[in-house]
Amino acid sequence: MSAEATAIHKSVVITGSTKGLGFELARSFLARGCGVTLSGRDEQALTRALATLRREHGIDRVAGISGDVTLRADVEALWARAAAVFGRVDVWINNAGTTNPQVPFADQDASDICAVVGTNLAGTMLGSWVAIRGMRAQGFGALYNMEGYGSDGSRQPGMSTYGSTKVAVRYLTRSLAAELRDTPIVVGALSPGVVVTDLLLDVYARGAPENWRRARRIFQFIADRTETVAPWLADAVLANQKTDVRLAWMTVPRAIARFFMPHYHRRKLLPE
């Protein structure tokens, strides 16, 4: 496969794209004529994701490589794979993330803390480093980092580790935008809001049951499925030309309005 063999709108790289929001983002970009390079640590999950998307959108517009975002060689191999298949990387999205059980910080396992910081923060930094160097060499590109709970400084018991990484990611994103302001590289943040994924459900499954009961009442109104959020984010990324931008699906006015809409009181979105 090559850029000459396949006409594409944009070449998009998405880390953590074998499932969840990353996978639906890949599907949405493909539906809009882009070529997409998938990435994930699980080789079998990658194989399944590639098979599904190639069946839907054709073999020539979907590439992929397994790898760990905390390893420089793996992230560089991801860039190289996308560039080899599509001839360039127009958009790089640092989406890979993990989280910890929603329990008090001192009760968390040290290995969970290191894994969350490694993937969410170090992985995003390393992905940004590789993407910026590649975009600098090719002369253009757009880098987006995924926000999450804590990005805006919100605090909640049990979310100290995850939230710390996300507030740091916002600082990183805005700092990179400032550094690259006078270059042809766009830097921005994606804010999907609360998205129902295995990652979200696992947080509460491994925490105290009362945390889920409390959160579920709010999520009934403000959470969304991946297939609802991903198309909007893909459209926003493809339309955006500004740097230091935050593309947010769930705004405060939208969230408030939902509490007054009967549909959101009735919908079956979350498990009991």
pLDDT digits (tens, 9 = 90+) for 154-176: 888 888 999 999 999 999 999 99
Helix, strand or coil for residue 105?
A: helix
- Give the CA distances from residue 231 to residues 92, 125, 225, 234, in Å, rounded to whole numbers and listed in that order: 16, 25, 11, 5
Share of the chain above pLDDT 90, in %: 71
pLDDT at 112 exceeding the cut of 90:
yes
- What is the residue whose two structure tokens read 């705004």? 251
Give the chain's radius of gyration (CA, Å): 18
- How many of the other CB atoms lie within 10 Å of CB of 143? 26
CATH for the 11-194+226-255 domain, from 3.40.50.9100, 3.40.50.720, 3.40.120.10, 3.40.50.150: 3.40.50.720
Q: Mean pLDDT, to the nearest integer, of 172-200?
A: 93
The DSSP code for 250 is S
Q: How many residues does the chain have?
A: 272
In whole angstroms, what is the distance from residue 211 CA to residue 215 CA? Answer: 6
Task: Report the amino acid identity of residue 218.
Answer: I
Q: Which two tokens stand for residue 136?
A: 């600098």
pLDDT given for residue 239 in this prediction: 98
Q: Which of 16, 17, 246 is nearest to 144 (CA)?
A: 246
- What is the residue whose two structure tokens read 């980092």? 145
- State how beta strands 141-146 and 185-191 pair: parallel
Displacement of CA 112 from its chain's centroid (Å): 20
Q: Which of 125, 123, 134, 237 is nearest to 185 (CA)?
A: 134
- The active-site residue, picked from 144, 162, 171, 264, is 162
pLDDT at 272 exceeding the cut of 80:
no
In whole angstroms, what is the distance from residue 248 CA to residue 254 CA? Answer: 11
Query: Which sign does the torsion angle of CA 96, 258, 161, 210 carry?
Result: negative
pLDDT at 3 exceeding the cut of 50:
no
* Beta bridge partner(s), residue 113: none
CB 77 within 8 A of CB 50: no
Q: Does residue 162 carry a catalytic annotation?
A: yes
| Residue ranges of domains in the chain | 11-194+226-255
- pLDDT range class, residue 2, cuts 50, 70, 90: very low
